[in-house]
Amino acid sequence: MWEISEIWGGGVNFNRPERAPTAEELYSDGPHAATFAYEIGDPNLDPEVGKGIEATLRAEYERFEATLSAFSTRYDGFIFLDDTGVEIEGFDVLKFSQDDAEFVGFELHGHLEFLHAARSHAHLGFSYDQVKAEFRDSGEPLPRIPPRRGRLALIYMAERWDARIEGWWVDDQTRVAEGESPTPGYQTLNASVGHRFFAGTVVHELLLRGRNLTDEAAYNHVSFLKFQAPLPGRDVSLVYRLLF
């Protein structure tokens, strides 16, 4: 870690992740109802070993704070589910395989505070992340890699009240593995307002919360059932909590 100045700071992290294959990855041989797939393991899988580096740059100035992190990890024997293109009894046959792979990406997050009073606080929060993952020899993409996405949120907090409005943008995922279908992007809007009041040592809290208020059709690219079970549509709920 380095403190470059009163505003800027940074750091570098080296890591070596290692993971043994799971029992499912080794010995599966049958239909998996949760994924609508027939999964086949490989008892000869070796441990998955990686070598990675991550660099971080941090800025703090008065009411602004942000962190940018970039990373690269190279795996020897990365374990993944490979689509064989074959079907058994209507189930797609997926086989656990391994190959050398590389993940490269970055993420950004931070906030800008524009109200800081004795009993109230408000800030604008933001985040963005993306990753590119591919086989090292062929350069072809790995399956089920999430698309890039961004978030912008306006948050207000006080002694008895808090409120939030938050927007998510998720890009299309068109860089897909062989046998994998592209996934369209989406934008969602979430909001909530809460009030708390006190009775002795007990805290009562009411929260009105809305998710995907624009009722956007949204699909999770990493899900095996992304089109059969899309993400929830518009949802509005009133929550009461008792804390003691």
Name, in order, each residue with C-beta under 8 angstroms of 118's C-beta and a sequence gap of 6 or more: none
Q: How many CB atoms lie within 10 A of CB 68?
A: 16
From first to last of the 244 residues of the chain, give the pLDDT tens digit. 999 999 999 999 999 999 999 999 999 999 998 888 999 999 999 999 999 999 999 999 999 999 999 999 999 999 999 999 899 988 999 999 999 999 999 999 999 999 888 889 999 999 999 999 999 999 999 999 999 999 999 999 998 999 999 999 999 999 999 889 999 999 999 999 999 988 888 999 999 999 999 999 999 999 999 999 999 999 999 999 998 8
Q: Which residue has the tokens 């939030």?
A: 164
CA atoms within 13 A on the CB side of 120: 8
Structure tokens at 122: 């408000």
Class of residue 38 by CB neighbours under 10 A (exposed 0-12, middle 13-18, buried 19+): buried
Phi, psi for 53 (deg, rounded to 5): -135, 140
Give the helix ranges, DSSP H, for 89-162.
none
How far is residue 132 CA from its own chain's centroid? 14
HSE-up of residue 51 (Cα within 13 Å, Cβ side): 2
Q: What is the pTM of this model?
A: 0.89
